[in-house]
Amino acid sequence: MNPYSSTPPRTVPGRPWWKTTPAALGILALVTIVGAFSFPLGFLVLVAAIGLLWFLPPWRWYAKLGASVGALFLLTVGAGLGGQLQETGKADAKSVEARTPSPEASPSRAVEPKAPDLRGRHLDAAEHTARDAGYLTRRHDASAEHRAILLRSGWVVCFQEANREAGSKALTFAAVKAGEPCPEKDGEEIPWPTMPQLTGRTWQASVQALTDLGVDKDAIRAASHYLNDELPDGGHDAWRVCEQDPAEGASITAEVTLELAHPQAGCSQAGASLADRDADGDPDYRDHTDDRDRGTGSTGGSSGSAGGSTGAAGGSSGSAGGSTGDVGGSSGSAGGSTGGGGSSSSGGGGAGIVHPGSYCAPAGAAGATRAGTSMVCGPGSDGRNRWRSG
C-alpha cells in the first residue's frame, strides 16, 4: 500500500434548499405575515404550510407536529397584530380628522320622514297606506286575549310602532275589533264600559249617557215594553226606559237593548199588554174613545151588520135606553156577536183588526188590518211575536 497515494473522500450530495430547515422556518414566517393582512388567506397558507412541513424537512415526527402547532399559533398572532394595527390606524385617522379643521361644514344627514299616524283607522286601510309609504307591515291583537286577526276590515288600529327590519322600514299595528274600546296599553285588558242604571230615564237621556261612556250609538237598540204597543219612527225621545239589557253594573260587550213605554202608559209589571177596550189594536192611552160599531134596535127591525153585532156586557145589542131589541126584532149577525168585555171576533174566530209589526199572542193567531190584509202572529226579527202578513 502506497502511503503517498490516497483515495479522495466521497462527497455527500447536499439537500435541495426547499427541504432544509431554513426553508421550513420561512414557511412559518410566511403564515404569520399573510395572516396579519388577511385571516382567511392566512388560514389557506397555514394548511399548505402544514402539508409542506410534514413532507419537506428531514425532521422527526414530533418536531413536525410541534411545527404544525406553532404555525397555527403564528397565524393567530399575525391576525391579532393585523387587527390591532388596523384599529390603531383607524384611531389615528380619526384623531387627525378631528385635529384638521374642515374648510366648510359637512352637509347634515337627511332626517328620515316620520311614519304616518294611522291610529283609529280600519286595519286594512291602515296597512294599505303604510305599504304605499314604503313600510313593511305587521299586526297583532292589542288586547290581552291574543286573538287571531282574520278579517282586517273588522279591526281598528289602537297603537302603532315604527322600526327597522333587515334595513327596511316596518310599521307594527296593534288593533281591536270594531266597536271595542282600546286598552290603556298594548296587551292589556279591554276596558269595557259598565252599564249604568237607566230605568226611568228618557230614551234621549239614556242614549246620551251611553255614548258618553264610549258605547257606539248604532249598538243601542230601542224596543217597545208592551206587546200591543209599537214605537213611532224617530219619535220616542220622551219615552221612558222600563227594562234594560245588560243589567246595571254589567260590562257592555255587545248591543244594548232598552225597552221603552210612553209616559202616559208608564211601566207596568202586571202584564205584557196594555188595556185595549175595543180590541182595535190601539191601546187605550192612544184610543181615548171606544170606537166599536154599536147597533141600535127599532120597531119591526133588528140591529146588525154583515159581520156581527155588538152587545153590552157580553149580551145582546141594545139602544141607548138600555133594553135590547124591540117588538119583532133581535140583535144578531151572520158570523157571531161580540161582547162588551173588550174582545172582538171575526167570522172565523180570529183576533180581529190588527196593526202590522205590533206585538201579538199567541203564536199562530190570525187577524186582518183595516184594509183587509190577512195577518198572522209569528216571530219577528227580534225574536218576539209580531203581526206579519200571512
pLDDT tens digits, one per residue of 83-107: 544 444 554 555 545 555 555 544 4
Would you say the pTM of this structure is higher than 0.85? no
pLDDT on residue 196: 94
pLDDT on residue 156: 96
pLDDT on residue 319: 33
Cell of 120: 283609529
Longest dimension (CA), the chain: 198
Q: How far apart are the first and last CA of the chain?
A: 154
Gap between the Cα atoms of 202 and 262, Å rounded: 10
pLDDT digits (tens, 9 = 90+) for 279-320: 777 888 887 666 555 444 433 333 333 333 333 333 333 333
DSSP 122: B
Least confident residue range of 48-62, 175-189, 238-252 = 48-62
Gap between the Cα atoms of 27 and 191, Å rounded: 76
Over range 197-212, report the average pLDDT. 94
pLDDT on residue 112: 61
pLDDT on residue 107: 47
pLDDT on residue 130: 93
Strands 240-245, 168-177: pairing is unpaired
Residue with cell 286575549: 145
Sort 388 into a burial class: Cβ within 10 Å, 0-12 / 13-18 / 19+. Answer: middle
C-alpha dist (Å) from residue 299 to 13, 213, 327, 329? 169, 72, 6, 7
- Are 278 and 306 spatial neighbours (Cβ–Cβ below 8 Å)? no
Residue 212, SS3 per DSSP: helix
pLDDT on residue 92: 54
pLDDT on residue 389: 72
How high does pLDDT run on average in the chain? 72
Gap between the Cα atoms of 330 and 304, Å rounded: 9
Angle at 119 between CA 115 and CA 121, to 5 degrees: 115
Altogether, the residues listed in the chain come to a count of 390
Higher pLDDT among residues 307 and 124, named by residue: 124
pLDDT on residue 346: 36
The domain spans of the chain are 18-89, 123-177, 194-283, 293-341, 344-390
Residue 173, SS3 per DSSP: strand
pLDDT on residue 167: 80
pLDDT on residue 164: 87
pLDDT on residue 303: 37
pLDDT band at residue 256 using 50, 70 and 90 as cut-offs: very high
- Are 62 and 17 spatial neighbours (Cβ–Cβ below 8 Å)? no
pLDDT on residue 111: 54
pLDDT on residue 370: 73
Residue ranges of alpha helices (H) inside the chain are: 21-37, 39-55, 61-99, 123-132, 203-212
- Are 300 and 326 spatial neighbours (Cβ–Cβ below 8 Å)? yes
Q: Please state, for a pLDDT cut of 70, what percent of the chain lies above it.
A: 61
